[in-house]
Amino acid sequence: MHPPPFRLAHRLSDWPDCRLELHCCQGTTILPLRLLATKRGDRTFAEILPRLRCKRCNRPPAPVYLCAGHREHNHGAPADWAIELVPVPRGSNHEGGPIAAVREKVPAPAGDKPAGVATTTAI
């Protein structure tokens, strides 16, 4: 199945049954778009994508995919289709999975989550 045409000007409500799959330093996080639109407002992808940050390292997640289908978090079936919205940056470290390109180091905030907990948030 081929994905429908995608534009950054589309709103979250245009893709209600899809999910964002975000990859960062602590693994993969799945964000259902219907839930994201309910909690953060029906924004465009152009507004949402630049604001995504990992709670642990404070960097933008990469890669980020728009996925369709009933994918299960960790070891689930592949999505019916996926569109890469944010590619893996050049020179990124792939040890233990893709992470955002190394920029200046940002200290982890106090009360950091324990290791192994994937926490990526929008806005």
pLDDT in tens, 75-118: 566 678 889 999 988 876 543 333 333 222 333 344 444 444 44
Task: Judge whether 49 lies within some domain.
Answer: yes
Can you give the length of the chain in residues? 123
Q: Vertex 75, ends 121 and 72: CA angle to 5°? A: 60
Task: Judge whether 72 lies within some domain.
Answer: yes
pLDDT at position 113, please?
42
pLDDT at position 40, please?
93
pLDDT at position 3, please?
75
* 97 conformational bin, left if phi > 0, alpha if psi -120 to 50, beta if neither: left
Task: Judge whether 32 lies within some domain.
Answer: yes
What count of other Cβ atoms lies within 10 Å of the Cβ of residue 102? 12
Terminal CA-CA length for the chain: 31
Number of domains, the chain: 1
Task: Judge whether 2 lies within some domain.
Answer: no
Following DSSP, what letter does each residue of 34-100 receive, concatenated?
HHHHHHH-S-BHHHHGGG-EETTT-SPPSSEEEEES-PPTTT-PPPSEEEEEEPPPTT---TTS--P
> CA-CA distance, 123 to 118, in Å (whole number)?
16
What is the tens place of the pLDDT at every residue in 21-65? 999 988 888 899 999 999 999 999 999 999 999 988 999 999 999
Task: Judge whether 95 lies within some domain.
Answer: yes
Task: Judge whether 101 lies within some domain.
Answer: yes
Task: Judge whether 52 lies within some domain.
Answer: yes
Task: Judge whether 6 lies within some domain.
Answer: no
Query: Tokens at residue 19, please?
Result: 């999910």
Which domain covers residue 26, as residue numbers? Answer: 12-121
pLDDT at position 74, please?
54
